[in-house]
Amino acid sequence: MQNLSSFAILNVTMKKIVIIGGCAAGPKTAAKAKRVNPENKVELYTMENVISYSACGMPYYIKGAVPSYTNLIIRTPEDFKKQGIEVFLNHKCTQILPNEKVVIFNTFNNGVYETKSVQYDELVLCTGSRPYSPKIKNINLDNIFHLKVLDDGIKIKEKMEKSKSAIILGGGYIAMEILEAFVKNGLHVTVVERNKNIMSQFDPEISDIIKNYIIQKDGKQVDFILDDEILEFTGTKGFEGAVTRNGKHLQGDFCVIASGVIPNIELAKEAGVEIGITGGIKTDNRMRTNIEHIWAAGDCTEENCLITKKPMYAALGTIANKQGRVVGINLNTDTSGVFETFDGILGSAVTSYFDFSMSATGLTETKAKIYAKNANIEPISALVTKRDKAGYMPDSKSITVKLVADKRTGELLGAQAVGAGDADKRIYTVTSALKANLTVNEFLHLDLTYSPAFSSTIDPLLTAAYKLKEQIDR
Amino acid sequence: MQNLSSFAILNVTMKKIVIIGGCAAGPKTAAKAKRVNPENKVELYTMENVISYSACGMPYYIKGAVPSYTNLIIRTPEDFKKQGIEVFLNHKCTQILPNEKVVIFNTFNNGVYETKSVQYDELVLCTGSRPYSPKIKNINLDNIFHLKVLDDGIKIKEKMEKSKSAIILGGGYIAMEILEAFVKNGLHVTVVERNKNIMSQFDPEISDIIKNYIIQKDGKQVDFILDDEILEFTGTKGFEGAVTRNGKHLQGDFCVIASGVIPNIELAKEAGVEIGITGGIKTDNRMRTNIEHIWAAGDCTEENCLITKKPMYAALGTIANKQGRVVGINLNTDTSGVFETFDGILGSAVTSYFDFSMSATGLTETKAKIYAKNANIEPISALVTKRDKAGYMPDSKSITVKLVADKRTGELLGAQAVGAGDADKRIYTVTSALKANLTVNEFLHLDLTYSPAFSSTIDPLLTAAYKLKEQIDR
């Protein structure tokens, strides 16, 4: 009995936590789990040769804004070691054995390929995501890139610096950032997007504003091929061009595929971990999977939409970090008594093309209308184009704000803001309102800070809310 | 009976609305009242020779950012005339007779001084505020200015352009803007503030950050005389300097008094309109005074604090515009059936000194502690200094965010944000949270937009919330 008891205490106060994945969620989980209980033995495994870096920063490295890729590295294995966390680079996980509480890794040790089996008390899957590769003929030609790991960023930059033209497959958030990088570096760029518009995450009229801004500013350097897709890459030695469904023959020195990411869930699935309908690992709001002692966080998981209450998938560094924090706390719930939840997301996102920012949260009108088919809501919207500060301020710039609400309850559903002016942080305000289920009627009373250098007396957000209210009152 | 009935209909569908005050709340009321019901006869009276201008824009005109003071004029009397609103310039109201529903004005008509009596169905008091003048010996010397009406701005700019030094009495929001204008124009400036710190609307440690920034940037041009006050202005012909309570002898080419404003309520008071404990006109949340058919809006009114639920006074263009909109709608409630409320304020405000912005909403810790003496709350706070975007972005800058909450309920009470980075719009987020009574626990889950060019993966706001949560959980 005494033995059993001390064994139990040992188990409770000191756990071996094994984390797979070294980009964002993994390192965050490791750091938090160790900080909450320094007794924990925390091991972080990654198949890359680097950990804890900002994948989102790569476009800025390619552009030249961030001078070196080493700037993107947040913490080194040595930093973790100082905190008492062991980091294992170049370790590729090949199997999870939940019953044995063991993970199998393949790695090189002194030049010798070896298989390693690692015991865990708690396992955290932070296996991330990988670029989605559309089915295209000759996709394995040289000079066709994805942008996912740090090495990709380095290679794309090297190639860009020797090139005069490029093709970007995809017209979403990351595509905009790469486009800016290439345009800034003097390239001619062809963007191929299968939707009718770039940035199709926004409502069509907002996407149009974005497209028109880019064409007006850099139309000589940028071609948009919309409502079309690449069927075949061409080239004898390496990539030379592409042929589209509509029969367009495109040329370029290289191509970047930026058509979204898919979660890395295969290992988890094989081990019996439940996968959600979006394709990401399903967790509860404490980030526990269906298998005891296995947790998941970051790009490999699916999230809950705070508005529709339905699963959605988003791969973003901010979510990965927040979830890592939650897991790090919850790994210690049995000793600390404290737990934390990750309640869901709004699909909030922001990017920019030079000084033109584009950000959104919650549902677009398009998405709200789809949602309305199976929900008791009646979406309405209001769009306002207005200066971002007092109109007489010489540096005031135009921004467009669109608010979406439910006419029946008056509750806000989402917001989009774009423009060369101060658009993005205004969306922050709406994330807060959506979290609180504020109605339009409540929102339009917001006591936003005002000074001519920062806003108009009635902020564009509130003007949009006034317009929504008129529709609700009708 | 028929006559009476048609008279009643006439009265209901066509009202004569008389508005006193032409800066912000007045014009807004006029425009809205006319738009809601074009049948209304709307008359706008002002004692100035100009209407509808941005008083808040004057520091930017003085600085030189706004090229001409005419840029500050939003709408001219002719613009109003086109909308069917009559504007009467140079009309000074001398008496309100509520029983007779008459207002008396003094004016010049073709060079002849005359008294005019104007009948109203509804009267709206938008009499604004005036600078507070501390009791100082020789305050009427030449070259001592206030900054309130457009003409003040013009005169100060003229004087500044011929001067090498100035004294600013006061260290608040407007003082910061004038200070920037003077420093930018090469003057040496002495700021005299009776509190222990400039920007004493903030908590002391935040005020210190502001002061240190200014001294570090422009210490050669700026002297702060704190915890002291001017007792006497000196000079034989005009202003030459000042003597302080602590015996300091200050010199300058001119002086601007920026020590706050007080509401213009005397006429209202004489007419029996109730004045609140803050000194502003008391209204209900539909902006009605205690006297039937008399309304008030803008700087002459007092507001309700959304947090303490107690009266507070704030003179801001954004409030004036929002209240003007509310009155304009409510003047028509009997015909439209629609009414609007003005629920209160958070004391939100923002200003900047060059690229260093300072903004706040809700209660500071100082104010929360005072409030706690008579309320069942236990204020706690968290302060975070962090980059405004990903640390590796070369243009990322430091900002400091302070959140204040009630440990007992977990509800947020207020926020302050300062810094050379993107601080101000983050306060917007908190105004939304305060409006919705969000708790720290809810706030820290906000799905804020993220991209390295716009924020860190965990926004400074959320880092501050995490720190607050640790205190709440303790």
Summarised one tens digit per residue, pLDDT across range B357-393 is 999 999 999 999 999 999 999 999 999 999 999 999 9
Of residues B425, B448, B458, nearest to A348 (C-beta): B448
Partner-chain contact B449 A352, CB within 8 Å: no
Please give the Cα distance from B112 to A106 (Å, whole number): 99
ipTM over 0.85: yes
* pLDDT grade for B12, boundaries at 50, 70 and 90: low
Specify the 3-state DSSP secondary structure of A21.
coil
Contacts of A317 in chain B (CB under 8 A): 450, 457
Q: Does A379 touch chain B (CB under 8 A)?
A: no
A58 in Cβ contact with A150 (< 8 Å): yes
Q: How is residue B194 annotated by DSSP?
A: S
First to last CA, chain A: 74
Which tokens is A394 given? 């010489």
Whole-number pLDDT of residue B6 = 39
Report whether B294 contacts B273 (CB < 8 A): yes
Whether residue B400 is predicted with pLDDT greater than 90 in this model: the reply is: yes
The closest alpha carbon to B103, from B155, B43, B157, belongs to: B43
Helix (H) or strand (E) holding B80: helix B77-82
| 3-state SS assignment for residue B425 | helix
C-alpha span between B8 and B2 (Å, rounded)? 10
Cα–chain center distance at B208: 23
CB-CB neighbors (< 8 A) of B322 in chain A: 445, 458, 462
Contacts of residue B414, Cβ cutoff 8 Å, sequence gap at least 6: B307, B346, B360, B361, B362, B363, B364, B365, B367, B368, B403, B404, B430, B434
Q: What is the pLDDT of residue B471?
A: 95
Other C-beta atoms closer than 10 Å to the C-beta of B133 total 15
Asked whether the beta carbons of A346 and A308 are under 8 A apart, the reply is no
Phi, psi for residue B222 in degrees, rounded to 5: -125, 130
The pLDDT of residue B259 is above 80: yes
Q: What is the pLDDT of residue B220?
A: 97
Handedness of CA A57, A62, A64, A67 (dihedral sign): positive
Sort out which chain A residues have CB atoms less than 8 A from B442's CB and list them. 435-436
Instruction: Look at residue A344 in the predicted model and tell me its pLDDT.
Output: 96
For the cut 70, the answer to whether the pLDDT of residue B11 exceeds it is: no
B445 contact residues in A (CB cutoff 8 A) = 322, 341-343, 435
- Compute the nearest-CA separation of A134 from chain B (Å): 25
Q: How far apart are the first and last CA of chain B?
A: 74
Scanning B61-90 for CB atoms below 8 A from A yields 65-67, 71-72
State the pLDDT at residue A352. Answer: 96
pLDDT for residue B345: 98
Is the predicted pLDDT of residue B216 greater than 60, yes or no? yes
**Sign of the four-CA dihedral B38, A446, B456, B444:** negative
Interface subset of A 316-345, CB within 8 angstroms of B: 316-322, 325, 338, 341-345
pLDDT of residue A257: 97
* Three-state SS letters, B94-112: EEEECCCCEEEEEEEECCE
**pLDDT tens for each residue of B306-335:** 999 999 999 999 999 999 999 999 999 998
Residues B24 and B21: their CA atoms lie apart, in Å, by 8
Amino acid A12: pLDDT: 54
* Kind and range of the H or E run holding A182: helix A173-184
Nearest to B324 by CA among B51, B29, B23: B29
Q: What is the pLDDT of residue A11?
A: 47
Residue B438, CA distances (Å) to B93, B265, B442 in order: 45, 36, 6
Query: Which residues of B are known catalytic residues?
Result: 56
Interface test with A, best of B355, B447, B448, B469 (most A CBs within 10 A): B447
**Token pair of A219 as six digits:** 């139309």
**pLDDT value of residue A169:** 97
The Cα–Cα gap between A52 and B16 comes to 69
User: pLDDT of A410-451, one tens digit each?
Assistant: 999 999 999 999 999 999 999 999 999 999 999 999 999 999
CA of B443 to nearest chain A CA: how many angstroms apart?
A: 7
Distance CA(A20)–CA(A296), nearest Å, equals 9
Q: Which residues contact B362 (CB under 8 A, 6 or more apart)?
A: B307, B346, B347, B348, B404, B412, B413, B414, B415, B430, B431, B434
> B351 to chain A: which residues are within 8 Å by CB?
451, 453
- What does the alpha-carbon distance between residue A321 and residue B418 come to, in Å, rounded to a whole number? 25
What residues does A18 pair with on adjacent strands? A43, A123
pLDDT at A1 (0 to 100): 36
Strand order in the sheet with A294-296: A85-88, A41-45, A16-20, A122-125, A294-296
Tell me the nearest-neighbour CA distance from B175 into chain A, angstroms.
Answer: 13
| Whole-number percent of chain B with pLDDT over 90 | 91
Average pLDDT over residues B192-219: 97
Residue showing tokens 């425009």: B31
Best of A173, A392, A430, A462 to substitute, by most chain B Cβ atoms within 10 angstroms, is A392
Distance, CA of A188 to CA of A181 (rounded, Å): 11
Residue spans of chain A under pLDDT 70: 1-12
Asked if A435 lies within 8 A of B450 by C-beta distance, the reply is no
Q: Is the pLDDT of residue B7 over 50?
A: no
Residue B282 per-residue DSSP state: P
Of residues A4 and B147, the one with the higher pLDDT is: B147
Alpha helices (H) along A41-147: 58-63, 77-82
pLDDT of residue B112: 82
pLDDT tens string A331-340 = 999 988 889 9
Going by C-beta distance under 8 Å and a sequence separation of 6 or more, which residues neighbour residue A420?
A: A213, A355, A356, A357, A397, A398, A399
A300 as an active site residue: the answer is no
**Three-state secondary-structure class, residue A43:** strand
Q: Hey, are the CB atoms on B432 and A427 less than 8 Å from each other?
A: no
Greatest alpha-carbon span in chain A = 80
Q: Is A430 an 8 Å CB contact of chain B?
A: yes
Distances (CA, A) of B141 to B136, B162, B232, B235: 11, 18, 11, 8
So what's the pLDDT on residue A8?
42
User: Are residues B147 and B173 in contact, defined by beta-carbon separation less than 8 angstroms?
Assistant: no
Residue A343 zone, left/alpha/beta (φ > 0; ψ -120 to 50; rest): alpha
Supply A447's token pair: 């006591």
Total residue count of chain B as it appears in this document: 474
Name the phi and psi angles at A160, rounded to 5: -55, -40
How far apart are alpha carbons A268 and A300 in whole angstroms?
A: 10
CB A150 within 8 A of CB A48: yes
